[in-house]
Structures are given as structure tokens and as C-alpha cells.
């Protein structure tokens, strides 16, 4: 019996290996884990889009659960999530925008044609704040708790399904713990 088990060892190892490979096939290499989860927002002071005398800083995101959405008018897939973001704003979700390496006029025009769900938008003209946030492409959406800590990051177009699956449970948990 012991000899048989030993003889079958390679087969078992092979099956485990196949299991790993099979699992890896379904992973999307473009989906990167964020290194910033559980960390506070980086320090930033950005001019507010449309009103550069006003400033948006990380402190503005304290005190309330909010989401921070990285977008740009040159980003074609950002259009796809705009309707859903408008819906979120209507149901009372606080959304801050980070306008990523954009032309100011283009950004303002884009908002007037697609709608503006944002409470305030910071203009990240040179993309430095985006780098500090670990952004690797627009759109990206961060979930920020009331202490200004990054709780979740979603890279890609935000949809109702993703919101329900990834954001809602975390928001409920945060509210429950208050």
C-alpha cells in the first residue's frame, strides 16, 4: 500500500500542477493588485477643475466614505462608466474626480456633454498624484473610508455588477463598524 502511494506520487504532483495551470489560465494579467490598499491617501494639493483658485487635497476626502474616480476626456472607456457614475451620484454616493493628464478645456467640454457626477475634481496635469496612487490607466476607481484610507481599487470601467460585488459589501462593512 505504501509503495503504491509512493508510486502514484508523481501522478498526484502532476494533477496539482495542472490544477495550478488551469487556475492561472483564468487570471487576467492586466488586473494588477493595488499596493496602496489599507494605506492612507498620498498627500496632494490640486487645482480644482473649472476653478483653479480652489484646491482639492487629501483632507477633503476625510470624514465620509467616498469614491475617487480617475478619468480623462481622452480616455474612451471613461465614457462607458459615466452613466453609472451619474446614477451613483443621484443615489447619494460622494464621488471625487481626479482628472488625469488632461487638457482643461477638453475636460470641461467632456463633462458638459456626458454629465458631471463629481463633487469636486482635482486636475492632475502632470500625472504625479496618479503615480502616487499607483494608477496605471484610466478609468480607475478608489474606495476611500472616512479616515482617508484606501480600502479598494478597481481598474477598469465601473459597472453596476462590480459595484454590487466589490464596493457594496465593503461599504456595508465600514458602515457597520462605525
Partner 1 sequence: MKQLILAILLSFVHLTASANATYPLDSAKQEAQFHHLLHDLRCLVCQNQDLADSNAGLAKDLRNEIYNLVKEGKSDKEIIDYATERYGDFILFKPPVKTITYLLWFGPGLFLVLGLFIFWRSCLIRKGQIDE
Binding-site ranges for partner 1 (CB under 8 A): 29-30, 32-36, 101, 126-128, 131-134, 136-137
Radius of gyration of the chain (CA): 21
Q: How many helices (H) and strands (E) does the chain have?
A: 6, 7
Residue 20: enclosing H or E segment and its boundaries? helix 2-25
In terms of CB distance, is 17 or 45 closer to partner 1?
17
Closer of 101 and 146 to partner 1 (Cβ):
101
Q: Helix, strand or coil for residue 171?
A: helix
Residue 8 or 168 with smaller CB distance to partner 1? 8
145, 63 in Cβ contact below 8 A?
no
74 contacts: CB under 8 Å, gap ≥ 6 = 102, 106
Tell the smallest beta-carbon distance from residue 39 to partner 1 (Å).
Answer: 9
CB of 24 to partner 1, least distance (A): 14
Cβ-based nearer residue to partner 1, 81 or 124:
124
Q: Which residue has the cell 487576467?
A: 28
Q: How far apart are the first and last CA of the chain?
A: 57
The DSSP symbol for 58 reads G
Nearest residue to 56 via CA among 94, 105, 82, 93: 94
Nearer to partner 1, 94 or 103 (CB): 103
Q: How far is the CB of 75 from partner 1 (least distance, A)?
A: 11
CB of 141 to partner 1, least distance (A): 17
Cell numbers that stand for 119 in this block: 463633487
Q: How far is the CB of 154 from partner 1 (least distance, A)?
A: 16
Amino acid at each position: 500500500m505504501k509503495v503504491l502511494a509512493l508510486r502514484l506520487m508523481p501522478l498526484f504532483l502532476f494533477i496539482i500542477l495542472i490544477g495550478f495551470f488551469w487556475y492561472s489560465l483564468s487570471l487576467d494579467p492586466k488586473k494588477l493588485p493595488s499596493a496602496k490598499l489599507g494605506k492612507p491617501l498620498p498627500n496632494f494639493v490640486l487645482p480644482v477643475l473649472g476653478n483653479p483658485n480652489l484646491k482639492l487635497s487629501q483632507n477633503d476626502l476625510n470624514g465620509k466614505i467616498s469614491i475617487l474616480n480617475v478619468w480623462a476626456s481622452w480616455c474612451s472607456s471613461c465614457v462607458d462608466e459615466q452613466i453609472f457614475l451619474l446614477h451613483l451620484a443621484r443615489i447619494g454616493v460622494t464621488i471625487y474626480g481626479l482628472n488625469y493628464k488632461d487638457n482643461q478645456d477638453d475636460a470641461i467640454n467632456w463633462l458638459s456633454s456626458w454629465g458631471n457626477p463629481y463633487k469636486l475634481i482635482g486636475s492632475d496635469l502632470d500625472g504625479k498624484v496618479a503615480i502616487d496612487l499607483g494608477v496605471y490607466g484610466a478609468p480607475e476607481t478608489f474606495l476611500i473610508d472616512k479616515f482617508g484610507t484606501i480600502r479598494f481599487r478597481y481598474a477598469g470601467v465601473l459597472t453596476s455588477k462590480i459595484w454590487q460585488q466589490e464596493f457594496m459589501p465593503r461599504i456595508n462593512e465600514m458602515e457597520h463598524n462605525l
